[in-house]
């Protein structure tokens, strides 16, 4: 009972912190540019944090691992490897987009190649984002429902409301800052889980050998 209360308190505090970050980020919003591209003032650390959180979030930490364990084996790593190549390519393309002073990739193609190119690029980018967003929501909702013993639909509703609120309040500022916090929590959690696994495994092996 006490452990359930502690877990619930931790989750509630975490969600409130995310909303607080969204509120504080809203203070930085003075124009459309601030909302959409964070005023073009994101440094390399914040950019690295938000990209890392996106790629080692639910899609990687849960989805890829599950696929690897169930049927795909090491081939499930294609998702991570592909994104690694994509980031290398973007390293060379990003300066061109930044120099063009556009807010989105489709806007760049619309200005350079005309309206049809902008529409096609929007569709190409929009369709995969539906799956990516759904994957993140599913992973977050599974974790929340498991931790709090909630109905899955209720967990989806909570996650959707919290994410939507802080994203609307602070735009890219709030998304980046929450991602930056989350990536540290993800990495620290994975390290703790890894050490716990190895510790318990070594204890079990030692116990088995000792009492054989």
- The alpha carbon of residue 187 and the mean position of all alpha carbons in its chain are separated, in whole angstroms, by 12
**75: helix, strand or coil:** helix
What is the predicted pLDDT for the residue at 11? 86
Residues across the chain: 212
pLDDT tens digits, one per residue of 63-81: 666 666 777 777 767 777 7
What is the predicted pLDDT for the residue at 2? 55
Quote the tokens at residue 166. 């802080």
Per-residue pLDDT band for 16 (boundaries 50, 70, 90) equals very high
- The alpha carbon of residue 71 and the mean position of all alpha carbons in its chain are separated, in whole angstroms, by 24
First-to-final CA distance of the chain: 36
pTM over 0.85: no
Of the chain, the percentage scoring pLDDT greater than 90 comes to: 7
Section 129-154 average pLDDT:
82
DSSP H stretches of helix in 27-151: 32-37, 44-55, 58, 65-67, 78-99, 105-113, 115-148
């Amino acid at each position: 009972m006490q452990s359930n209360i502690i877990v619930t308190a931790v989750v509630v505090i975490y969600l409130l912190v995310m909303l607080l970050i969204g509120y504080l980020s809203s203070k930085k919003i003075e124009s459309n540019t601030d909302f959409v591209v964070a005023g073009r003032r994101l440094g390399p650390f914040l950019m690295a944090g938000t990209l890392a959180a996106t790629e080692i979030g639910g899609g990687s930490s849960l989805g890829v691992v599950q696929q690897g364990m169930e049927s795909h084996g090491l081939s499930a790593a294609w998702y991570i490897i592909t994104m690694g190549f994509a980031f290398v390519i973007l390293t060379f393309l990003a300066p061109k987009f930044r120099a063009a002073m556009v807010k989105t990739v489709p806007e760049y193609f619309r200005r350079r190649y005309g309206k049809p190119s902008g529409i096609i690029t929007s569709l190409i980018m929009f369709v995969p984002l539906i799956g990516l967003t759904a994957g993140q929501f599913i992973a977050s909702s599974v974790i929340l429902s498991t931790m709090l013993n909630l109905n899955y639909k209720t967990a989806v509703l909570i996650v959707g409301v919290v994410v939507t609120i802080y994203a609307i309040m602070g735009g890219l500022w709030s998304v980046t800052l929450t991602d930056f916090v989350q990536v540290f929590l993800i990495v620290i959690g994975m390290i703790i889980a890894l050490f716990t696994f190895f510790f318990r495994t070594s204890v079990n092996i030692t116990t088995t050998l000792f009492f054989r």
